[in-house]
Copies of this chain bind each other. A is one copy, B any other.
């Protein structure tokens, strides 16, 4: 560790009004009830639970974050492994529920080598295993005797699951499956928790019976020795190397050279192979598996609001502390620099993201509700209930979850980078806390359905719905009503009052979806355009559909009785402004779609972009700090100099740089002709002890 700062440095303070004073002033400017809003969003039980977890974690030395930003890959992984183990021990000791365990993980805010064991491995065994397989695999896995992962993606195949190359061939003679990797591209790849931690894997492989392929199926395979943890014979497994982020996780590769597993290792709750006849047993209800994917996407949507809010919290607080330049129209004699948050250019970048974080929060909540309603209906149908007039709720939910997953994760990822840049030069420092968070989040735009790929599925559903409407066979559901209303009214015209009527604003988003749907339908069905030539249109359409859902969910949440009775009118008013800002921001950002469709006039767009947006920014501005405070991120979780609750930004930056940074342990030899690099490295000794 470097030397502490000399006394004359310790005596220095930042110039001008202190960050702490500025944030106090910010909080005094607004009367938004932060606690009321936070309780409404998270419930007081959850807030109290999180506070307890925070106390346990932050007082335990293994979770000390002070070295996180300085460590290389191996040391980061080592620390993450230690944390994973400790977290598991704490979880047993305190008898945490799954929710509590996940909340603790959130506070730590980095993936650990147990990540995929605790989620996908256990979940897959649970959902796709028979009672016998639960006993055989799930129980030891729950006790962390088996540590596992979910090995689906391969070096050559990600999105196209049907194209997976790993094979599992049934051998009737000894009643085993032989797992094999016929090509290099068959190597499992990107598999979390596989690289170093797992001794078992659920391997998704092509099931081959009698030379015929029955498509991808899940097999439980032991891959490392339970004692030595060395790979088993004919298995080649390891870590795939460093990544843009996610470096505390051991994403791995895995190759098989004719490895046999018993019949019972094919997870066979839904489908399987008759051990006696070698015949294939077909799945009874594929909808259930389909449902899980939908849940994962709904969860990504729910999470995206809070992911984004973290970056927005940091940037908003720092932009209130940072001052730069005098206002150009400042009166003669005025002194002092302007808070960066007062510049409209900064507000224009940051406040729509603040609005988006809330919009995504309400949308995620609505998604989870929709998912639960669907699960209930599926259960009723399983018990013999007739399908309702709402059509195929699962297909509807699937399309919504695909479009929203793509939109929400892209919005969160890109919004984090905008937040980082809004912090100016200091946003580039690791101590901003945004860069690593962004880098760790980025895979979300690719996994669980690549965001571009997903948009095809959305378009397919919307085209199908539109065809049904045209054929007079519309289902009784939301999107069909939107499409039918457009059909009815398209020649009359829309004339939505998007500037002064919030319901009209929502309707304009619906109108645009319908317009783009019928346009795409015409290209496909009448003009017979190839599917490939329409992919860009489909992507636009899916984005429009997602934005409509978000705008609608946000607005409906604010009209909801539960909301109106939990929040005071002032808070509701501010949230309504966030809704308007979010909607108008996207309306002006996709202006040409709105007026090509006739949803708005050019004049409305111009007014929305200028006067109306400026006025909303001005009205939201005083509440910005309190609005991010309501997300209730503890400093320990943010781990950011710039986003500190108390505003002591510069002191913290300086402390971390000068008194924690291990590069200040060393003295170099700077001269080109000298072969000596480090003359002194006070930290080398320390490091060898980690």
Residues on A close to B: CB < 8 A?
2, 5-6, 8-9, 12-16, 69-75, 77-78, 81-82, 84-85, 88-89, 113-114, 144-145, 147, 153, 155-160, 163, 165, 181-187, 190, 195-199, 228-230, 234, 236, 238-246, 250, 253, 255, 257, 324-325, 327-329, 337, 342-345, 348, 417, 420-421, 424-425, 427-431, 435, 439, 442-443, 445-447, 450, 452, 530-537, 539, 588, 591-592, 595-596, 602, 605-606, 610, 614, 650-651, 653-654, 656-658, 660-664, 666-675, 677-679, 683, 688
Given the complex, which residues of B lie within 8 Å of A245, measured CB to CB?
Answer: 428
User: In the assembly, what is the distance between CA of A562 and CA of B181, in Å?
Assistant: 56
> Is the beta-carbon distance between A236 and B71 smaller than 8 angstroms?
no
Given A12-B183, A240-B653, A243-B435, 7 additional A-B pairs, CB 8 A = A16-B185, A70-B241, A147-B670, A229-B668, A241-B663, A345-B536, A533-B614
Chain B residue with minimal CB distance to A651?
A: B184
A680 CB, min distance to chain B CBs, angstroms: 9
User: In the assembly, what is the distance between CA of A445 and CA of B84, in Å?
Assistant: 38
User: In the assembly, what is the distance between CA of A153 and CA of B533, in Å?
Assistant: 50
> Is the beta-carbon distance between A241 and B591 smaller than 8 angstroms?
no
Most chain B beta-carbon neighbours within 10 Å: one of A12, A84, A327, A329: A12
User: In the assembly, what is the distance between CA of A234 and CA of B653, in Å?
Assistant: 21
Most chain B beta-carbon neighbours within 10 Å: one of A74, A84, A678: A74
> Is the beta-carbon distance between A183 and B14 smaller than 8 angstroms?
yes
> Is the beta-carbon distance between B428 and A443 smaller than 8 angstroms?
yes
A38 CB, min distance to chain B CBs, angstroms: 30
> Is the beta-carbon distance between A431 and B229 smaller than 8 angstroms?
no
> Is the beta-carbon distance between B229 and A669 smaller than 8 angstroms?
yes
Given the complex, which residues of B lie within 8 Å of A429, measured CB to CB?
Answer: 240-244
> Is the beta-carbon distance between B430 and A446 smaller than 8 angstroms?
no
Chain B residue with minimal CB distance to A422?
A: B452
User: In the assembly, what is the distance between CA of A77 and CA of B670, in Å?
Assistant: 12
Given the complex, which residues of B lie within 8 Å of A420, measured CB to CB?
Answer: 244
Would you list 23 pairs from A and B whose C-beta atoms are within 8 A, ordered by A residue? A8-B257, A14-B183, A15-B185, A78-B678, A113-B670, A155-B654, A158-B324, A187-B654, A198-B670, A228-B667, A229-B667, A236-B658, A241-B430, A243-B428, A244-B428, A244-B430, A253-B658, A327-B532, A348-B536, A537-B610, A592-B595, A592-B605, A595-B602
A675 CB, min distance to chain B CBs, angstroms: 8
A305 CB, min distance to chain B CBs, angstroms: 22
Q: Which 4 residue pairs of A and B lie closest in terms of their CB atoms, listed nearest first?
A: A72-B72, A15-B183, A244-B435, A88-B672
Given the complex, which residues of B lie within 8 Å of A431, measured CB to CB?
Answer: 241
User: In the assembly, what is the distance between CA of A663 and CA of B379, in Å?
Assistant: 46
Given the complex, which residues of B lie within 8 Å of A257, measured CB to CB?
Answer: 8-9
> Is the beta-carbon distance between B657 and A531 smaller than 8 angstroms?
no
Given the complex, which residues of B lie within 8 Å of A196, measured CB to CB?
Answer: 663, 666-668, 670
User: In the assembly, what is the distance between CA of A159 and CA of B78, in Å?
Assistant: 40
Q: A183-B14, A663-B241 are in contact. Are A532 and B428 (CB under 8 A)?
A: no
User: In the assembly, what is the distance between CA of A209 and CA of B83, in Å?
Assistant: 58
> Is the beta-carbon distance between A663 and B89 smaller than 8 angstroms?
no
Given the complex, which residues of B lie within 8 Å of A329, measured CB to CB?
Answer: 530-532
User: In the assembly, what is the distance between CA of A671 and CA of B661, in Å?
Assistant: 32
A663 touches which one: B73, B325, B439, B446 (CB < 8 A)? B73
> Is the beta-carbon distance between A12 and B446 smaller than 8 angstroms?
no
A290 CB, min distance to chain B CBs, angstroms: 19
Chain B residue with minimal CB distance to A323?
A: B156
> Is the beta-carbon distance between B81 and A654 smaller than 8 angstroms?
no
> Is the beta-carbon distance between A596 and B602 smaller than 8 angstroms?
yes
> Is the beta-carbon distance between A6 and B236 smaller than 8 angstroms?
yes
Given the complex, which residues of B lie within 8 Å of A88, measured CB to CB?
Answer: 672
Given the complex, which residues of B lie within 8 Å of A230, measured CB to CB?
Answer: 667
A654 touches which one: B114, B184, B228, B654 (CB < 8 A)? B184
